[in-house]
């Protein structure tokens, strides 16, 4: 067996060496990362484990190895009858468990490391195995054991387990943010749920035994002798000679010695934590927690204590037990605030918080709160001194950027202008910040204002009321607060203002501004909130957030919506989902806005996943805005998620959600372009859906924002709901999608008007006839086509296909000048401003005929032939004909032109121009054909460039 194991090991080493050599050959002299070790390698050769753990950055890490070893050791077995059995108690599994214990021993049983890397079920399994190996008597409660009489390693195992028990109770009491799994994680939900249930069961047992665990640890503080904890060597001794394990032999003292002081330090910290946690229900216990923290010696080498958390515990205990060191309280801001609170000096605390918030708002470019303005009515000298100190520190923290300095200068000017006490104003104006930040002209104006105030101040006047003495019921205050409420975009500031307003009057403050609007779908849910303050806050946060989105201020919108989400999560699952939907819509619009400005980075996978999650969401009495579904589908089309729309979206969703159905048909049609005729089944289905939408029962309606929609009331066997909006500026940006929709509406237009046909790409994929032509609302189709092409050109004004379609639309509606503009622009973009020949598929015979007709109907006859001119007294010609003679390359026409002009006036300038044009040597009919062709091309180019200048 040893030979076989040695052979396997040698083969693995040779293989790994060969792989390493290959990688080295590929990467040159660059060192490569060694391959990750597998758990079974350590099972084949246990000596590798210690070598692996001593490495600089072992991969897998120690905690990962513990998970792998215990996972393999706890796998259920299957007997011959295919019945699932508990894990077998065989040599393999015992070895794996021992290796997990050895890894933990390598970490010196540091609970901080183990808790960070292992879940509660895994750590529970590890420590129970530790108790078993350490020969803790089974079936006996730990509280009934006399630790002083047990072997040192056995006692230490009991203490480690009970320390972990109370630490786990404390950690589980902290709030934990739940992460909502995306659609790709749904298959993991059952496993997550199983682990969660197992964790809850373990926590339930630990909480039941909490009193016993505390008693065990309290008893350990009375033991003054040293303890020993198992190491890799002592665990090897246990495996080699189990009969002597934990007896009074070398194995009981072969582990790591833990001094009593070190152990007591750790136990004091853990007991302090559990007592502090219990103080929530029994405040008298805080005294016990403080006593343990007082005795804690955090300098002990083995005592791995979070010093920041310990400092927080200590400060909290001192505050909660209403005792403190008077000297210490003056050294930290927290100590000062605690001192104020104990002395019931709440005004000082509020003044300082108000000043700090105002300075923060000023540096963030926010609106100063009404509380700060009221504070400046009659502040104390200490308040102004504190304000200047905060300004100085805050500006230093901002590294004195130019933006921060300017904002601070504006803030200081505001303070000077608001101070009624001139002495305090001069106190600000003499400060170094005033001298450094304000410009000379600003200083001069402010100093002049202060001098005037000083000369006219009435010293006998009754002092103005202080911030807290102003009557809360005055209408002036309410109006000021309402004005602040309208202007503010800071959620905390809005909440503060609403609290103050509700303290003055009980009325619906969500009506303060008539422009605050929330979607009608949500109004009833929000107004049904029973608490008036909460109702106002939710309504206003949502209304302001929606306004910010409309002006593309996505940063403020995110703050407002996030604050609203946190608020409604506490009491309304329905509103929570509403806010999640609105946040999703905001993220989609934010990304699309960035794309419109040129940022073509693909959206992050998380956003795509959330969009899929929304489209697949099952509706349970939840108010949904139609626009969210529309824009989610548009988002998927814009970022070419055609694979999802055509293949991955569940068929049930396609049948039940009209936007997904429409998106699927568009995506499928685009995917098949320019495929063969037999692959155009989806194009025909999309055609039928749009024809039904545009039926004569549709209403041609313009919405409040000026957009045109086709609203169809009908029943459909295709799963499309009775109401569908087909809007033209709803965010579509994918060129192929827009081209497909334009092509579809062009075909619909042409079926109704065969004479005045409009051209478009891929027009052949649509049916060439319509069974019931009278059912189509022709006016709606025309309006749709025009606005759709306008919208597409606003995204890309150089798309030659869209330009030709737009030109045709203007031509068939008798707008010939505009038609010429777009025909020429189409030629310009595909020929580098006519420096290259225009492709024949752009300037087709039909296009050239239409350009000629445009020129003729505009009375530009020279342009319409580029060669022939008729000029009589009766005919008005508006094309500056004399300037076009140099563009005519047909000598016969030039001769005819010269003859006509000679008859009219032999010495006219027009006749001379015609003679000069016909006399150019390159037009001589004796020239080679290549020269004549080159001359013609040169004149065509110049002629089209001249026309472009004329019509652009």
- pLDDT band for position 22 (cuts 50, 70, 90): very low
Range with the lowest mean pLDDT among 409-413, 675-679, 714-718?
A: 714-718
703 pLDDT higher than 60: no
89 pLDDT higher than 60: yes
Q: Report which of residues 925 and 244 the model is more confident about.
A: 925
Q: Look-up: residue for tokens 């919506």?
A: 561
Q: Which of 682, 690, 681, 678 is nearest to 665 (CA)?
A: 682
pLDDT tens, residue by residue, 587-638: 988 888 887 777 678 888 888 888 888 887 876 678 888 788 888 888 888 8
Q: In whole angstroms, what is the distance from residue 859 CA to residue 838 CA?
A: 25
Range with the lowest mean pLDDT among 217-226, 466-475, 756-765, 779-788?
A: 466-475
At 727 the pLDDT is 44
Highest mean pLDDT among 51-60, 114-123, 918-927: 114-123
> Long-range contacts: 298-302, Cβ < 8 Å, 24+?
298/265, 300/261, 300/262, 300/265, 300/266, 301/262, 302/108, 302/258, 302/259, 302/262, 302/263, 302/265, 302/266
Q: In degrees to the nearest 10, what's the CA dihedral of 258, 261, 267, 268?
A: -160
Q: In whole angstroms, what is the distance from residue 376 CA to residue 411 CA?
A: 13
Question: What are residue 227's phi and psi, to 5 degrees?
Answer: -115, 165
Outline where 514-657 has alpha helix (H): 520-527, 532-550, 554-569, 573-596, 605-615, 626-638, 642-643, 651-656
Q: Residue length, the chain?
A: 952
SS3 content of the chain, % helix, strand, coil (to 5): 65, 0, 30
Average predicted confidence (pLDDT) for the chain: 75
What H or E segment, with its residue span, contains residue 332? Answer: none
DSSP state of 620: S
Range with the lowest mean pLDDT among 360-369, 377-386, 585-594?
A: 360-369
805 pLDDT higher than 80: yes
23 pLDDT higher than 80: no
Question: How many helices (H) does the chain have, and how many strands (E)?
Answer: 44, 6
At 616 the pLDDT is 79
Question: What are residue 376's phi and psi, to 5 degrees?
Answer: -75, -5
Q: In whole angstroms, what is the distance from residue 61 CA to residue 45 CA?
A: 18
68 pLDDT higher than 70: yes
At 563 the pLDDT is 93
Residues 6+ apart with CB under 8 A from 877: 859, 860, 861, 862, 869, 871
- pLDDT band for position 257 (cuts 50, 70, 90): confident
> Cβ–Cβ contacts within 10 Å for residue 765, how many?
23
User: Residues 847, 830: contact at Cβ < 8 Å?
Assistant: no
Percentage of the chain exceeding pLDDT 90:
8
Q: In whole angstroms, what is the distance from residue 785 CA to residue 278 CA?
A: 71
pLDDT tens, residue by residue, 125-183: 999 888 888 888 888 889 888 888 888 888 889 999 999 999 999 888 876 655 444 44
In this prediction, residues 490-517 reach a mean pLDDT of 89
3-state secondary structure of 302: coil
Question: What are residue 179's phi and psi, to 5 degrees?
Answer: -95, 130
Q: Residue 38: left if φ>0, alpha if ψ -120 to 50, beta else—which one?
A: beta
3-state secondary structure of 621: coil
Q: In degrees to the nearest 10, what's the CA dihedral of 99, 105, 110, 114?
A: 0
Q: Look-up: residue for tokens 């009775």?
A: 722
At 890 the pLDDT is 67
User: Residues 168, 203: contact at Cβ < 8 Å?
Assistant: yes
190 pLDDT higher than 60: no
Residues 6+ apart with CB under 8 A from 527: 535, 539
CA distances in angstroms from 522 to 543, 560, 563, 730, listed in the order given:
11, 17, 17, 21
Highest mean pLDDT among 520-529, 752-761, 767-776, 824-833: 520-529
What H or E segment, with its residue span, contains residue 709? Answer: strand 708-711
- pLDDT band for position 96 (cuts 50, 70, 90): confident
3-state secondary structure of 893: helix
- pLDDT band for position 337 (cuts 50, 70, 90): low
At 543 the pLDDT is 94
710 pLDDT higher than 70: no
3-state secondary structure of 700: strand
User: Residues 69, 102: contact at Cβ < 8 Å?
Assistant: no
Q: In whole angstroms, what is the distance from residue 351 CA to residue 367 CA?
A: 18
At 766 the pLDDT is 86
Q: In whole angstroms, what is the distance from residue 922 CA to residue 290 CA?
A: 107
pLDDT tens, residue by residue, 519-556: 888 988 999 899 999 999 999 999 999 999 988 899 99
Range with the lowest mean pLDDT among 200-209, 658-667, 892-901?
A: 892-901
CA distances in angstroms from 101 to 37, 134, 254, listed in the order given:
18, 11, 16
- pLDDT band for position 10 (cuts 50, 70, 90): very low
497 pLDDT higher than 70: yes
Sign (positive/negative) of CA torsion 111, 114, 117, 119? negative
- pLDDT band for position 255 (cuts 50, 70, 90): confident
Q: Take residue 448 and report the two structure tokens written for it.
A: 């002049």
DSSP state of 77: E
339 pLDDT higher than 90: no
Q: Take residue 819 and report the two structure tokens written for it.
A: 């038609």
> Cβ–Cβ contacts within 10 Å for residue 595, how many?
17
**First-residue to last-residue Cα distance in the chain:** 91
Q: Look-up: residue for tokens 């020279």?
A: 862
Q: Which residues are registered as beta bridge partners of 258?
A: 227
Percentage of the chain exceeding pLDDT 70:
72
DSSP state of 256: E
- pLDDT band for position 365 (cuts 50, 70, 90): confident
44 pLDDT higher than 70: no
User: Residues 468, 347: contact at Cβ < 8 Å?
Assistant: yes
User: Residues 695, 777: contact at Cβ < 8 Å?
Assistant: yes
User: Residues 491, 561: contact at Cβ < 8 Å?
Assistant: no
Cis peptide before 25, with omega less than 30 degrees from 0? Answer: no
435 pLDDT higher than 90: no
Highest mean pLDDT among 190-194, 378-382, 449-453, 709-713: 378-382
3-state SS string for 367-426: CCCHHHHHHCCCCCHHHHHHHHHHHHHHHHHCCCCHHHHHHHHHHHHHHHHHCCCHHHHH
At 168 the pLDDT is 92
At 427 the pLDDT is 82
Range with the lowest mean pLDDT among 34-38, 283-287, 526-530, 733-737?
A: 34-38
Q: In whole angstroms, what is the distance from residue 668 CA to residue 383 CA?
A: 68
In this prediction, residues 891-900 reach a mean pLDDT of 68
3-state secondary structure of 879: coil
At 426 the pLDDT is 76
Q: Report which of residues 826 and 903 the model is more confident about.
A: 826
Q: Which of 737, 629, 751 is nearest to 691 (CA)?
A: 751
Question: What are residue 107's phi and psi, to 5 degrees?
Answer: -85, 10
404 pLDDT higher than 80: yes
Q: In whole angstroms, what is the distance from residue 628 CA to residue 608 CA?
A: 14
In this prediction, residues 919-945 reach a mean pLDDT of 72
Residues 6+ apart with CB under 8 A from 875: 859, 861
User: Residues 863, 879: contact at Cβ < 8 Å?
Assistant: yes
3-state secondary structure of 770: coil
Q: Take residue 945 and report the two structure tokens written for it.
A: 């460039």
Q: In whole angstroms, what is the distance from residue 370 CA to residue 479 CA?
A: 11
3-state SS string for 182-195: CHHHHHHHHHHHHH
At 537 the pLDDT is 94
What H or E segment, with its residue span, contains residue 123? Answer: helix 120-133
In this prediction, residues 730-741 reach a mean pLDDT of 83
At 560 the pLDDT is 94
Q: Residue 796: left if φ>0, alpha if ψ -120 to 50, beta else—which one?
A: beta
CA distances in angstroms from 625 to 234, 352, 522, listed in the order given:
67, 44, 8
pLDDT tens, residue by residue, 343-357: 666 677 788 888 888
At 164 the pLDDT is 92
């Amino acid at each position: 067996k040893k030979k076989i194991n040695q052979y396997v090991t040698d083969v693995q080493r040779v293989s790994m060496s060969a792989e390493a050599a290959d990688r080295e050959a590929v990467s040159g002299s660059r060192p490569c990362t060694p391959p990750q070790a597998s758990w079974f390698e350590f099972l084949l050769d246990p000596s590798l484990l210690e070598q692996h753990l001593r490495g600089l950055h072992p991969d897998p890490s120690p905690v990962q190895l513990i998970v792998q070893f215990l996972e393999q050791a706890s796998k259920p077995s299957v007997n011959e009858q295919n019945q699932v059995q508990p894990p077998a108690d065989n040599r393999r599994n015992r070895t794996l468990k021992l290796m997990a214990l050895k890894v933990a021993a390598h970490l010196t049983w540091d609970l901080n490391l183990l808790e960070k890397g292992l879940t509660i079920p895994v750590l529970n399994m590890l420590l129970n195995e530790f108790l078993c190996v350490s020969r803790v008597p089974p079936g006996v409660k730990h509280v009934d054991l006399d630790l002083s009489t047990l072997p040192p390693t056995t006692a230490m195992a009991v203490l480690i387990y009970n320390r972990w028990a109370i630490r786990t109770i404390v950690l589980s009491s902290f709030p934990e943010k739940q992460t909502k799994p995306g659609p790709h994680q749904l298959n993991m939900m059952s496993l997550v749920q199983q682990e969660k249930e197992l964790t809850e069961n373990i926590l339930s047992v630990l909480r039941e035994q909490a009193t016993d665990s505390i008693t065990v640890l309290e008893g350990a503080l009375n033991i003054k002798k040293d303890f020993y904890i198992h190491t890799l060597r002592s665990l090897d001794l246990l495996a080699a000679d189990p009969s002597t394990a934990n007896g009074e032999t070398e194995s009981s003292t072969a582990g790591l010695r833990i001094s009593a002081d070190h152990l007591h330090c750790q136990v004091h910290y853990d007991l302090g934590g559990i007592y502090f946690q219990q103080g929530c229900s029994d405040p008298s216990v805080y005294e016990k927690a403080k006593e343990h923290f007082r005795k804690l010696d955090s300098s002990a080498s083995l005592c791995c204590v979070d010093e920041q958390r310990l400092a927080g515990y200590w400060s909290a205990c001192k505050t909660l037990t209403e005792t403190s060191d008077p000297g210490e309280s003056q050294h930290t801001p927290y100590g000062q605030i605690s001192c104020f609170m104990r002395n019931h000096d709440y005004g000082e605390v509020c003044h300082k918080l108000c000043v700090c918030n105002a300075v923060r708002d000023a540096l963030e470019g926010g609106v100063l709160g009404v509380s700060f303005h009221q504070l400046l009515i009659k502040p104390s000298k200490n308040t102004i001194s504190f304000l200047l100190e905060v300004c100085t520190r805050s500006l230093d923290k901002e590294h004195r950027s130019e933006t921060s300095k300017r904002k601070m200068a504006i803030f200081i000017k505001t303070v000077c202008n608001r101070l009624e006490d001139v002495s305090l104003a001069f106190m600000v104006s003499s400060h170094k910040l005033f001298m450094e930040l304000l410009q000379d002209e600003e200083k001069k104006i402010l100093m002049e204002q202060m001098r005037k105030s000083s000369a006219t101040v009435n010293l006998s006047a009754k002092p103005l009321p202080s911030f807290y003495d102003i009557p809360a019921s005055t209408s002036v205050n309410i109006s000021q607060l309402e004005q602040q409420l309208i202007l503010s975009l800071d959620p905390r500031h809005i909440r503060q203002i609403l609290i103050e307003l509700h303290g003055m009057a009980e009325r619906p403050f969500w009506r303060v501004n008539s422009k605050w609007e929330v979607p009608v779908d949500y109004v009833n849910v929000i107004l049904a909130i029973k608490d008036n303050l909460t109702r106002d806050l939710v309504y206003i946060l949502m209304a302001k957030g929606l306004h910010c989105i409309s002006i593309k201020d996505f940063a403020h919108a995110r703050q407002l919506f996030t604050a609203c989400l946190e608020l409604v999560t506490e009491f309304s699952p329905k509103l929570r989902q509403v806010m999640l939907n609105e946040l999703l819509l905001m993220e989609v619009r934010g990304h699309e806005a960035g794309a419109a400005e040129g940022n073509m980075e693909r959206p992050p996978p998380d956003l795509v996943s959330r969009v899929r999650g929304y489209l697949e969401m099952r509706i349970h009495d939840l108010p949904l805005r139609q626009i969210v579904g529309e824009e989610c589908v548009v988002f998927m089309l814009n970022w070419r998620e055609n694979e999802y729309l055509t293949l991955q979206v569940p068929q049930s969703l396609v049948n039940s959600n009209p936007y997904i159905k429409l998106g699927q048909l568009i995506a499928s049609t685009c995917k098949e372009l320019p495929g063969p005729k037999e692959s155009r089944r989806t194009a025909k289905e999309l055609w039928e859906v749009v024809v039904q939408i545009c039926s004569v029962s549709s209403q041609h309606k313009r919405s409040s924002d000026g957009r045109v929609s086709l609203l169809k009331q009908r029943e459909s066997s295709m799963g499309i709901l009775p109401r569908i909006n087909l809007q033209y500026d709803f965010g579509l940006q994918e060129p192929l999608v827009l081209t497909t929709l334009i092509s579809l509406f062009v075909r619909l237009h042409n079926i109704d008007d065969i004479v005045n046909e409009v051209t478009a790409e891929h027009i052949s994929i649509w049916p060439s006839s319509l069974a019931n032509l009278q059912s189509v609302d022709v006016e709606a189709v025309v309006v749709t086509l025009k606005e759709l092409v306008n919208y597409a050109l606003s995204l890309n004004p150089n798309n030659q296909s869209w330009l030709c379609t737009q030109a045709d639309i203007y031509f068939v509606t008798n707008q010939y000048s505009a038609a010429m503009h777009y025909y020429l622009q189409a030629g310009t973009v595909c020929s580098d401003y006519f420096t290259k020949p225009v492709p024949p598929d752009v300037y087709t015979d039909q296009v050239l005929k239409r350009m000629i007709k445009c020129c003729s109907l505009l009375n530009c006859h020279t342009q319409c032939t580029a060669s022939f001119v008729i000029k009589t007294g009766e005919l008005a010609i508006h094309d500056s004909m004399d300037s076009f003679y140099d563009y005519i390359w047909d000598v016969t026409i030039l001769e005819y032109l010269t003859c006509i002009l000679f008859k009219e006036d032999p010495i006219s300038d027009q006749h001379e121009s015609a003679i000069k044009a016909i006399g150019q040597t390159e037009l001589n009919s004796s020239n080679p054909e290549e020269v004549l062709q080159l001359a013609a091309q040169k004149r065509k180019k110049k002629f089209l460039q001249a026309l472009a200048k004329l019509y652009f």
